[in-house]
Amino acid sequence: MTIKITLDVNDYLTYHLYLASKSDSLKKRRLIHWFIIPIVYVIAGYAFVYLNGAEMIKTIFLATALIWFLIYPFYSKWAIRRFLTRQIIKRYENLIDKEGSLKLDDKKITVKSHDASMDFDYKDIKDIIELSNHFLIDLKVASSLILPKHKIPDEILAKVIDKIIDKTGLTPKIQTLWGWK
């Protein structure tokens, strides 16, 4: 069974945002930035009052801390999305909007792009992840295969996923409520 797929920036972005949302180090870094910077502003504001008696500067620092605390989750969500989009455009410029193919045999999976080809055994599949608009086939030897639901007919996609499930014995992880936060 062979299917043709063309991935765009949003397909790659969904995959990378999903990875980022599962990264413990990124979660920790975002949490630290969310809390540490307002704490520094509060301490600095009170230090100005203690050292100089500058009530106005304290108020400005406290307001800045509050604004940071309220706005940072939205800002970091936007900034990471923007950063990843730029990186994807640079890194995948030869793959974006280029037709590739996915061929499933009884023994292996062959992925072809316009300039490369890779073969994977079914035993190289680590996970099958179902998002609301994509299936991600996580591989042990490479990153993942991205299968956009809106670009592959439902009956063909169901056959591909069923074949992978039959060959690997894996149960898909249903993450259809996942969204970038």
121: domain CATH number is: 2.30.29.30
Domain containing 52 equals 11-91
| Residue 178 pLDDT grade (very low, low, confident, very high; cuts 50, 70, 90) | very high
170 and 110 within one domain: yes
Residue 181 falls within a domain, yes or no? no
CA distances from 42 to 36, 59, 118, 153 (A): 10, 9, 54, 55
Residue 45 falls within a domain, yes or no? yes
- For residue 76 the two structure tokens come to 């970091």
* Distance from C-alpha of 68 to C-alpha of 34, rounded to nearest angstrom: 8
Q: Of residues 103 and 66, which shows the higher confidence score? A: 66
pLDDT, average across residues 129-135: 93
Residue 179 falls within a domain, yes or no? no
Residue 180 falls within a domain, yes or no? no
CA distances from 49 to 35, 69, 138 (A): 22, 22, 55
Whether the pLDDT of residue 114 is over 80: the answer is no
Residue 110 falls within a domain, yes or no? yes
Residue 108 falls within a domain, yes or no? yes
Q: What is the pLDDT of residues 64-83, one digit of tens each?
A: 999 999 999 999 999 999 99
- Beta pairing partners, 100: 5
87 and 103 within one domain: no
